[in-house]
Structure 1
């Protein structure tokens, strides 16, 4: 497992937690102005993932998405994609919660 960083067209950076099979498990809720800030945010997620709260909720298209939060803060991590069933969304959040604390930070950025 590793946190990967991607540079967007506007030069901002997002992170994704990627599994050993290269499938994304979660992503940053927004973008960061540079790689350093994105890496710090990913490190904070890694540190908080085991004790944070996870919430599954329906979006405006009636699909399920999860969010990771530390009490009193905006979401630190979100689902990469929506889920049709709540149980699948909850399982995806659980995988993220289990894998994030031991994930490495991939210092390279992808374009």
Structure 2
């Protein structure tokens, strides 16, 4: 499922592809200033998925990262890096296959970051999630 999300009410908007178990598989390569811009970006990626060029790169920590490019401009990228080049290539290709059938969630998810002092006995960071209709 594709989701649009942001981290606060005034932050940029991103889109991502999420697996059924809730793990992020891919996201937009850049942030977007508005929900409409993010939706437009996702629509462009979905309309041109067959012509997107898969690129792989080795990270400074010697792991592999994939991105999909449209006319040389990155439009989507993997969330997380792979330990092997072949797994990285497979992850990029899976995005291309899944994006053809994945539904798009109509709501925008807003993640709120809350901090709790470690001295108060709580975790140093906890995240709450609110869904807002756009």
C-alpha RMSD of the superposition: 1.4
Separation in 2, partners of 1:27, 1:108: 16
Aligned equivalent of 1:88: 87
Separation in 1, partners of 2:67, 2:85: 13
| Offset of residue 52 of structure 1 | 1.1
| Offset of residue 98 of structure 1 | 0.5
Unaligned runs of 5+ in 1: none
Please state which structure has a larger fraction of its residues in strand: 2
Aligned equivalent of 1:24: 24
The equivalences for 1:92-111 within 5 A come to 92-111=91-110
**What is the aligned length?**
109
| Offset of residue 61 of structure 1 | 2.0
- Pick the structure with greater CA Rg: 2
Aligned equivalent of 1:55: 55
Separation in 2, partners of 1:22, 1:47: 24
Please report the TM-score for the alignment, with normalisation by the length of structure 2. 0.74
Q: Say which structure, 1 or 2, has more relative contact order (CA 8 Å, 6+ apart).
A: 1
Superposed structure 1 runs of 4+ greater than 3 Å apart: none
The equivalences for 1:4-83 within 5 A come to 4-9=3-8, 10-71=10-71, 73-83=72-82
Separation in 2, partners of 1:4, 1:24: 10
Please report the TM-score for the alignment, with normalisation by the length of structure 1. 0.88
**Residues 4-61 of structure 1: CA deviation (Å, up to 9, x unaligned):** 0111235211100122333222101121111111011011111111221101110222
